[in-house]
Homo-oligomer: A and B are copies of this chain.
Amino acid sequence: MSDAKTMPRGQIGRSLPRVEARAKVTGRAEYIHNLRLPGMLWAKIARSTVPHARIRGIDARDARAMPGVHSVITGEDIRAVIPEPYFGPAFHDQPILALEKVRFAGEPVAVVLAEDPQIAEAAAHEISVDYEELPAVYDEVEAMTSTAYVHDELKPAGMFADLKHLAGRRETNVALDYHLRLGDVEAAFAAADRIFEHIFRTPQQMHTPLEPHVAVGDATATGVTVHSSTQTPSTVRVEIARLLGLPENRVRVRTAFLGGGFGAKVYVKLEALAVALSLIARRPVKVALTMEEQFFTISKHGSTFRIKSAVDKDGRLTARACEVVYNGGAYADIGPRVAQKSGFSAAGPYDIPNVAIDSYETYTNRPTAGALRGFGMPQLVWAYESHTDLIARALGLDPVEFRRRNLLRDGLPQATGTVLRDVAAGTVLDRVVQRLGWGQPFDRGSGTRKRGRGIAIGMKASISPTTSVATIALAADGSATLYSSTVDMGQGSTTALAQIAAEALGIAAEAVRVVAPDTDVTPYDMGTLGSRSTFHMGHAVRRAAEEAKAKLAAMAAEAGVPAGTNLPIAEIFRRKYGMQAGTIVGSGSFVPDYAPPDHATGLTPNATPYWMTGATGAEVEVDTETGQVRVLRLVNVADAGTPINPRIVETQLTGAAVMQLGFTLSEEMVFTDGQLRNPSFADYKIPGIRDMPETMTGESVAARQESGPYGAKGVGETGTFGVSPAIANAIHNAVGVRITELPITAEAVYRAMRAAAGDPLPEE
């Protein structure tokens, strides 16, 4: 441990090892999964066996009779303690336990409470439900026109007011439609030299945090506490308070370290259930999912993206039309926001004067989809950067040269009309080109092993409107404690925020202790999501530190210290209080400037506080006998502004790229008639050590986000953007086939090669 008195030269740009590293490697870091409270009951969820049905009855007599079973709870029991038991961040459409209907196979229908988890699980199997099955819809494109309606009526609600116009819509599976119209797209297509149109698809996929969801509800006479593996303690608190009709200060949401989040743990997931069960049982109740159950809890949207571009004779993009349909599954979760917020970036990081975007969130009878590292962008970049490559090839242009001709740069308006500032897209592209050695000769392979290279670049907006608040307490010896509801789920936020606080206070980052999020303790933050913490919370932390510094200066003046005297913090306290006593508390909040999009056109002068740009270069080797793809090199370059902690930025880029590598090559939730066929890691393949690229680099370019804290911006998602299209483009470069649907399995590549050779394999 370091001396709080050390006055370091600078805390920004230090590759400080993660401050929680020792606690983690010594097994002392806290995870909610380890929590046991006295008198705690264990919950196990009985799940729907059918994808869409009316519930005729639930027979839990056998389960209730089992020794050690405390009770069996159904949706109607929940209604006795929470009269309107529907939740959701954007739509209040999800029941805490199914009421009247089930809408996907795997939906929670009842819960067994028991003295230990084994008994609970055994009893859950004894519950039988009488279903009257209903017509179902699974595909997002079919959902647009199907009359198998998942919900009777749209119920937009929650944190944001701008979705109210959707309320009450009936006989539709379109939960949200977003439209952007810039320029005159039809005229531009009419005048185009060339027009290209493609369709790209992605499947439903999984977050797979290694720590599954867990929540422990603890309702007492004076309020409720929920210990949860959540990325959004503050917003969960607001939602639980709403459900229970309690003031916020009677609801406590505590979290700890998370074993990964990736968007799976944003907004209410298990928390409302855990709290409701505790209210009913009048004991603490733990709901801890298995890995398998995560598949039925939250997922990444499958998508279908029809993209059409007009190009003039100089290889300049003149128009683009995008139609994106997201498969949201049975409940809205944050899906409508994904469709809306990714929507305005669907045309990519290109300077295109005429743009039409139509983005749709659909309900289907599948497990719910929500936010997953990129909030829709990886699906979009997959499409528009595969499309870009195909256009360049068709035009006979070098794909990089084609991109350079069309790339957005500072001072140009993005499709929304928002003028770019501090977007280092050109630098990012240049750097990935350089690191990959694009344009230089390389070993193209031989025999049955063909090698190729591909590049892709994506750009994402950050989140707004949104609020972050931080508090800093300065102890009498000059050591500091930072209170922030930012959740450290492995991304290193604790370390980065300590560095920002320390820089502003003029002390060493090691002298700043960061306490774990706890709504009783740490002030409001919208959530740890959307790569927003470094920027948004970073600002709040800096401001909190600045208020603390100002109070310290005032205290020094009160204590008669002449202005300009440079006393150690501890000495100022001693002068004021006569001993080692006292605390100075500073707080700061941050709300970025933002202008909501015009409802008709989707245009706005200020869509986002900053843009994140990420590019990937890939070199692959394809086995032409099997279609097997090996990624030899993966180069990930990002604009992260001025990194607070360069090493963490690099590992974030690489970690994101590895995650996207799984989504690119292997991951897919496979359904038959709405039944998930592979809900286990034996059958759902995430990348293992043998799937890693032979070489992989993560790099942030020299850049500065002037509006960011110390020039920084977020980077948690950036590494995902270009991975899938870069690999698809490299495969095309290697073996001349184009894959338009993820994942790019060996079978898909092999089938494509056979088809290209005029010898297609029969469909399964």
Q: Give residues in A with beta carbon < 8 Å to B.
A: 1, 3-4, 19-20, 22-23, 26, 28, 34, 38, 159-161, 220-223, 234, 238, 241, 246-250, 465-467, 469, 471, 473, 475-481, 511-513, 515, 520-521, 523-524, 526, 576-585, 587, 589, 591
Contacts and interface: CB of A to CB of B under 8 A. Distances in A.
A581 B233 CA distance: 12
B22 A581 contact: no
B581 A467 contact: yes
B579 A249 contact: no
A287 B580 CA distance: 27
A238 B222 CA distance: 32
B248 A524 contact: no
A475 B248 contact: yes
Complex copy number for this chain: 2
5 closest A-B pairs by beta carbon, nearest first, are: A523-B583, A585-B587, A247-B479, A249-B479, A248-B475
Nearest to A578: B465
Given A477-B248, A511-B247, A513-B250, A220 B581 contact: no
Contacts of A578: 160-161, 465
A26 B222 CA distance: 11
A582 B476 contact: no
Contacts of A520: 481, 513, 515, 521
Contacts of A584: 587
22 contacts: A1-B247, A1-B250, A4-B249, A23-B220, A23-B222, A26-B221, A159-B579, A160-B578, A223-B513, A249-B513, A250-B479, A250-B513, A465-B577, A467-B582, A469-B585, A473-B523, A513-B520, A576-B591, A582-B589, A583-B587, A585-B587, A587-B587
A2 B511 CA distance: 41
A38 B34 contact: yes
Contacts of A34: 38
A599 to B, nearest CB: 16
Given A23-B220, A26-B221, A515-B520, A247 B3 contact: yes
Nearest to A555: B589
Contacts of A591: 576-577
Nearest to A248: B475
A583 B512 CA distance: 22
Contact of A580 (B1, B28, B159, B477): B159
Contacts of A582: 467, 469, 524, 589
A479 B477 CA distance: 32
Contacts of A222: 1, 19-20, 22-23, 513
Contact of A248 (B22, B23, B250, B476): B476
A477 B241 CA distance: 10
Given A20-B222, A523-B583, 14 more contacts: A1-B222, A4-B249, A23-B221, A23-B222, A34-B38, A250-B479, A466-B581, A467-B582, A469-B583, A471-B585, A475-B524, A520-B521, A524-B583, A582-B589
A426 B238 CA distance: 54
A22 B221 contact: yes
A340 to B, nearest CB: 16
A686 B38 CA distance: 33
